[in-house]
């Protein structure tokens, strides 16, 4: 029996793939590295941080940055694993529990439907495993294209996802919903899949990853993005998504407790393109929740609304304005490893 644990389950560590000058974020490397230092500091206060480095010179550079920031290096592990980009949520392993023992699933990654180079990212998990980074935890290659940001698990056999992403013809054109549900039942022990048909953020290049739109906070609660401005391009699709969420029930047959998160004011790049800023892209840790913020008046509103969803956990705001310049945010650059992996 396999189960995909919820993100709030106990964790061994969080993975980061550190940015470098050869990646898409190399043009604003200094600003992005400041975000990664803040992430490493916040995560290491609660659990271990596992960092993938481009090469030996890059590892020394990262070590110097973390040391200068007074981060506890006893909680940090650095390994060489070349990468194309920083989005560990999508190229890192997805961990299931098989008879209560962790198993790493290495899904194929193709750059969100061949939008970007992906050869190094697709090999990164195997590269780390071959170095013994994950100890004795076994790794299984899966012949299915799947990104970690495209699925949400409540830890009790329910998966939340979007049709727009998972049924994209550039990922697994041979599968329909029924076929994917069958694979998820085998791989994740899934008993039901909740599909959303509406909702996608302008500027998003993942085809509607669920972790930008709606997230399980516990098995009865979903925090989701809502737009209250009828003049905003997001208004109609997010209203439709809200209606879909209102029609869903948890494993006990009760409607979910829904917690609306605001949209920040539009953030744009130097060409005027709107960027996918979302407060739903938070990360749950042992004893804390890291929440992306964007120097916006709605930052405080989002934190206020999320706080009651996570009693006993400290909420930590991380400025993620540099990350959305490449169309992702906080959850996208992290991947948790459940307890027992390390």
Q: What is the pLDDT of residue 128?
A: 98
Cα–Cα separations (whole angstroms), residue 20 to 77, 268, 269? 18, 23, 20
For the chain, list the domains and their CATH numbers. 2-338 (3.75.10.10)
Q: What is the pLDDT of residue 214?
A: 98
Residue 131 has pLDDT above 90, yes or no: yes
Q: What is the pLDDT of residue 43?
A: 98
Position 1 confidence tier, pLDDT thresholds 50, 70, 90: confident
Position 27 confidence tier, pLDDT thresholds 50, 70, 90: very high
Average pLDDT, the chain: 97
If you average pLDDT over residues 222-239, what whole number do you get?
97
Q: What is the pLDDT of residue 306?
A: 98
Tabulate helix, strand, coil % of the chain (nearest 5). 30, 25, 40
**28-86, pLDDT tens digit by residue?**
999 999 999 999 999 999 999 999 999 999 999 999 999 999 999 999 999 999 999 99
Phi, psi of 69 (to 5 degrees): -90, 10
Q: What whole-number distance in Å separates Cα of residue 278 and Cα of residue 299?
A: 10
**156-208, pLDDT tens digit by residue?**
999 999 999 999 999 999 999 999 999 999 999 999 999 999 998 999 999 99
Q: What is the pLDDT of residue 124?
A: 98
Q: What is the pLDDT of residue 257?
A: 98
What is the 3 state secondary structure string of 54-97? CCHHHHHHHHHHHHHCCCCHHHEEEEECCCCCCCHHHHCCEEEE
Q: What is the pLDDT of residue 179?
A: 98
């Amino acid at each position: 029996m396999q189960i995909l644990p919820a993100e709030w389950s106990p964790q061994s560590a969080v993975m980061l793939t550190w940015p470098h000058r050869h990646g898409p974020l190399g043009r604003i490397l200094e600003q992005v590295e400041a975000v990664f230092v803040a992430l490493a500091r916040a995560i290491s206060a609660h659990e271990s941080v596992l960092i993938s480095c481009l090469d030996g010179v890059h590892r020394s550079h990262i070590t110097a940055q973390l040391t200068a920031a007074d981060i506890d290096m006893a909680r940090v592990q650095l390994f060489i694993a070349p990468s194309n980009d920083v989005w560990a949520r999508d190229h890192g392993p997805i961990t299931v529990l098989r008879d209560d023992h962790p198993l790493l699933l290495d899904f194929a990654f193709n750059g969100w439907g061949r939008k970007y180079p992906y050869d190094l990212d697709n090999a990164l998990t195997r590269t780390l495993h071959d170095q013994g980074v994950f100890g004795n935890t076994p790794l299984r290659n899966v012949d299915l294209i799947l990104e970690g940001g495209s699925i949400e698990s409540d830890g009790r056999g329910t998966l939340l996802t979007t049709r727009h992403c998972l049924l994209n013809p550039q990922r697994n054109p041979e599968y329909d919903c029924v076929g994917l549900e069958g694979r998820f039942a085998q791989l994740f022990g899934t008993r039901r899949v909740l599909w959303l048909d509406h909702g996608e953020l302008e500027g998003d290049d993942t085809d509607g990853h669920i972790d930008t739109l709606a997230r399980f906070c516990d098995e009865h609660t979903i925090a989701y993005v809502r737009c209250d401005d009828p003049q905003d391009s997001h208004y109609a699709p997010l209203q439709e998504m809200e209606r879909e969420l209102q029609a869903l029930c948890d494993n006990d047959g009760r409607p979910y407790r829904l917690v609306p998160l605001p949209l920040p004011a539009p953030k744009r790049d130097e060409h005027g393109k709107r960027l996918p800023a979302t407060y739903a892209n938070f990360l749950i840790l042992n004893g804390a929740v890291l929440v992306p913020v964007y120097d916006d008046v709605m930052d405080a509103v989002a934190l206020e609304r999320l706080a009651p969803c996570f009693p006993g956990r400290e909420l930590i705001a991380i400025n993620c304005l540099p990350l959305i310049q490449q169309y992702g945010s906080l959850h996208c650059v992290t991947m948790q490893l459940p307890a027992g992996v390390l």
